[in-house]
Structure 1
């Protein structure tokens, strides 16, 4: 029996990042869902129930910190690891404030992306 594909949700308003990350992750067997804003974030994430979430800091409308905190307050969704990603120099601080499991600084290379995703999957 074939193992179900892992699902990931990416929140980023940069279409280039979404398309690059989607391409790479799909090549590695992921089912990728992308959103350019975090409006109705509980509904968006509940409809997918991903294994991992990638969250940009500057995502419209509420921003990554509030979006992540909203997810972490949901009993149904709080177990899903969130990887915070941003070009902000304070990314570690922002990720901690948001309640994310870990973070990935932009620009990142693809090995970093894979390593961080695999790390949160192992620690789930």
Structure 2
């Protein structure tokens, strides 16, 4: 059964690019342009890994990540914080994310960070 990755980003181009790259690498992908009802969204899919954009409408990435990390059934899922912000590492730390990926990223960096956090 393929490992599942859930990507939260309000940029369609990023979602399409990540989906193409990661599906090609053998992962199952779900995407969402909003982190509203984050617990419900993630619980319904139960991914092996989450990518969380910083700038999301309504509920931002930091708040959404903190909500996941404080949830007993979801806090084990690694969250990769995803941002073009220069302070992406500080934001990831604040959010309680497991790691971060600066945008723009290259394909190898994306594949490496995924395989580092989930065993195929």
TM-score norm. by structure 1 comes to 0.94
The count of corresponding residues between Structure 1 and Structure 2 is 119
Structure with the bigger RCO (C-alpha within 8 Å, sep 6+) is: 2
Match of 1:16 in 2: 13
Match of 1:87 in 2: 84
Give the alignment's Cα RMSD to 1 decimal: 0.7
d(CA) in 1 for partners of 2:57 and 2:67?
Answer: 14
Q: CA deviation at 1:121?
A: 2.0
Q: Structure 2: state its 5+ residue gaps.
A: none
Structure 1, unmatched stretches of 5+, are none
2: CA distance, partners of 1:60 / 1:27:
29
Runs of 4+ in 1 over 2 A off after TM superposition: none
**CA distance in 1 between partners of 2:13 and 2:106 (Å):** 14
SS at match of 1:104: strand
Q: Distance in 2 between matches of 1:110 and 1:102?
A: 17
